[in-house]
Structure 1
């Protein structure tokens, strides 16, 4: 599966699987950005992210946990 910054839910699911002990509420955006870029299948340009996208991923990750 190929992931881009627009795939917030799929990224959130992948992050939850890759970092099960992390609490999304306390992950810094710099770490979140790095973790997304390290995901298998992530093919988008790392420079195309912004705070709004990272926040959407974080919120989706929180919802996935609930």
Structure 2
């Protein structure tokens, strides 16, 4: 069983997104698309309806940090 995480785990989601989409610039991804990417991650257990712009912004910034670190 994969590690489980939800919307409150922005850093973990950022790491997971970077691992799954290493060549994608997080700033180029629309929030609607990022929402789908997140809810499709193995181990994601958050309620898809419980995200909001603030949560997605925090995740995007966590992903951006991972993306920049990988460059």
TM superposition score category, shorter chain reference: over 0.9
* Higher radius of gyration, 1 or 2: 2
- Structure 1: unaligned runs, 5 residues or longer: none
TM-score by length of 2: 0.89
Aligned equivalents of 1:3, 1:38: Cα separation in 2: 12
1:15 to 11, 17, 30: 17
Return the TM-score normalized by structure 1: 0.96
Residues 33-58 of structure 1: CA distance to partner in whole angstroms, max 9, x if unpaired? 00000000001100000000000000
Q: In the alignment, which residue of structure 2 is the partner of 1:55?
A: 57
2:40: which partner in 1? Answer: 38
State how far apart, in whole Å, the 2-side matches of 1:30 and 1:19 are.
16
Considering only aligned residues, what root-mean-square deviation do their CA atoms show, in Å? 0.6
Alpha-carbon distance in structure 1 between the residues aligned to 2:7 and 2:41: 12
What is the rounded CA distance, in whole Å, between the counterparts of 1:15 and 1:60 in structure 2? 10
